Amino acid sequence: MSNRLCTIDLIDETGRAIINREQIQHVVDAALLADGLGPCALTVLLVDDEESARLHRTHFSDPEPTDVMTFPDGSADPETGHPHLGDLAVGVDVALRNAADRGRQASDELTLYILHGVLHLLGYDDVDERDQAEMWAVQRKLLATVGIELEAEPG
């Protein structure tokens, strides 16, 4: 697809990730467009609980597996010359558990996590309630464009 705004390199280390590449591409490109960004690159590493916990402990001093971790970059992608937004490490096992608990498709849960990570790379934060509400509203709006509905409250 030549009209992609972001080149997304999806790497599934688990072999169990259920992803919808078109859905992910759509929401990531929509987020970039809304932020006024041009072409860029993004790497998404899909990891299991063990690797998620290891990365979370190493980089964020938290030993628990998590949904998504962001690693900003900004350097030029060697293949395209476009800025490399950064890397995301997405917890597949976390997504599978949460999707089952929320009655959501696993692919939709992973799309949410990837979008959430991209928004962090774009400068959104969810530390305090006000920022969280703003980030959640943006997620809700972008995910609705691909038929994913979020709960009323972040969680």
What is the per-residue pLDDT across 113-143, written as a single tens digit (0 to 9) for each? 999 999 999 999 988 999 988 999 999 999 9
CATH of span 6-144: 3.40.390.30
pTM score: 0.94
pLDDT at 154: 56
* Per-residue pLDDT tens digits for 36-89: 998 999 999 999 999 999 999 999 999 999 999 999 998 998 878 889 999 999
Residue 36, CA distances (Å) to 30, 59, 74 in order = 10, 29, 16
Cα 14 from Cα 12, distance rounded (Å): 5
> What b-and-e string marks burial along 53-73, b requiring 16 or more CB atoms within 10 Å of the CB?
bebbeeeeeeeebbbbbbbeb
SS3 call for 91: strand
* Per-residue pLDDT tens digits for 97-112: 999 999 999 999 999 9
pLDDT at 1: 40
The answer to whether 30 and 55 are in contact (CB under 8 A) is no
